[in-house]
């Protein structure tokens, strides 16, 4: 069996680092554009507002498990309430070398699962009742290994960094536009003749307009990269690509969608509950299931 999961893990890690680096460059460009367009005397409110966004995002990261439990209606179950599921999760945790996460169940007929928690010591994996009824043990092992990978790879932290950066960019440009339209645009028609260069002003305006869109596209790309990484890392835990592959095939053939379809939660689920057709494809949080299944087949050494 040709298992190339380690190469895939490394490739997706590099891709994530590259995407986050590009996001940092977009952030720097937007900061420059806002400062250039408004002038340094009018920009003081921007870092204050960004600080509020960053603080709120990091609070959400710190309390991620509690927030997600509330938003999805998941309930934590102990080993007496779900002994077989606890045994399965403990088995994968041992293989992964990670602490056993808490386990929760979401009363929902749609097959799906998610992981959350700010670090492995505070990890939680939730399963819908639909996925527990639909899948056999081998498939649930694959799903659990995928979710355990998110915990081990600290994807909640990565998602928070990406979301915070994108949110800060959007807020800065929004504030800049408001200041410009409501009087702040008179900012510095003073002694700084260099900053009155019309070409540079146009460039700054274009950066402010396109920056938020670029950041959103990059945030979605980071999420897709982490999903691919979780698939490959999950296989490294089980050494059985077929389990996860069959699980994804089941999800592909099942059209039931979870009730918790919030955009804020879409990146958490093993299968996105959002519509990914048309222009929405640009903002997908997950690679298409067909691509993920094909990659797992390659790991099995099968002909695609």
Closest by CA position to 114, among listed 289, 296, 273: 273
**Is 291 a known active-site residue?**
no
Longest dimension (CA), the chain: 74
Q: Which of 139, 147, 227, 271 is catalytic?
A: 147
Count CB-CB contacts under 10 A for residue 1: 10
Long-range contacts of 9-17 (CB under 8 A, 24+ apart): 9/229, 9/232, 9/233, 9/236, 12/225, 12/226, 12/228, 12/229, 12/232, 13/229, 15/225, 16/158, 16/222, 16/225, 16/226, 16/229
Tell me the two tokens of residue 104: 């929760």
**φ and ψ at residue 105, rounded to 5 degrees:** -125, 135
Residue 30 · residue 164 · CB < 8 Å:
no
Residue 125 · residue 113 · CB < 8 Å:
yes
Q: Which residues are tagged catalytic?
A: 147
């Amino acid at each position: 069996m040709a298992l190339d999961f380690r190469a895939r893990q490394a490739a997706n890690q590099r891709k994530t680092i590259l995407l986050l680096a590009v996001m940092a460059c977009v952030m720097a460009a937007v900061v420059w554009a806002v400062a250039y367009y408004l002038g340094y005397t009018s920009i003081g409110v921007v870092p204050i507002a960004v600080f509020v966004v960053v603080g709120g995002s990091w609070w959400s990261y710190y309390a991620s498990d509690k927030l997600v439990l509330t938003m999805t209606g998941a309930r934590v179950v102990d080993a007496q309430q779900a002994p077989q599921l606890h045994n399965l999760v403990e088995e994968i945790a041992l293989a992964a070398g990670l602490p056993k996460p808490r386990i929760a169940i979401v009363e929902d007929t749609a097959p799906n699962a998610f992981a959350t928690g700010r670090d492995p010591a505070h990890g939680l994996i939730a399963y819908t009742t639909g996925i527990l009824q639909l899948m056999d043990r081998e498939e649930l092992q694959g799903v659990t290994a995928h979710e355990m990978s998110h915990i081990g790879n600290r994807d909640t932290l990565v998602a928070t960094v990406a979301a915070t950066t994108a949110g800060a960019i959007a807020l800065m440009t929004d504030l800049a536009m408001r200041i410009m339209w409501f009087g702040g645009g008179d900012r510095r028609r003073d002694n700084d003749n260099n900053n009155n260069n019309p070409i540079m002003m146009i460039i700054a305006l274009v950066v402010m307009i396109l920056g938020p869109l670029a950041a959103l596209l990059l945030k979605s790309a980071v999420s897709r990269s982490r999903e691919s990484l979780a698939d490959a890392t999950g296989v490294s835990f089980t050494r059985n690509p077929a389990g996860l592959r069959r699980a994804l095939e089941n999800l592909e053939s099942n059209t039931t969608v979870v009730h918790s379809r919030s955009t804020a939660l879409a990146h958490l689920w093993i299968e996105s509950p959002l519509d990914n057709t048309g222009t929405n494809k640009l903002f997908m949080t997950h690679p298409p299931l067909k691509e993920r299944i094909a990659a797992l087949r390659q790991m099995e050494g099968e002909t695609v």
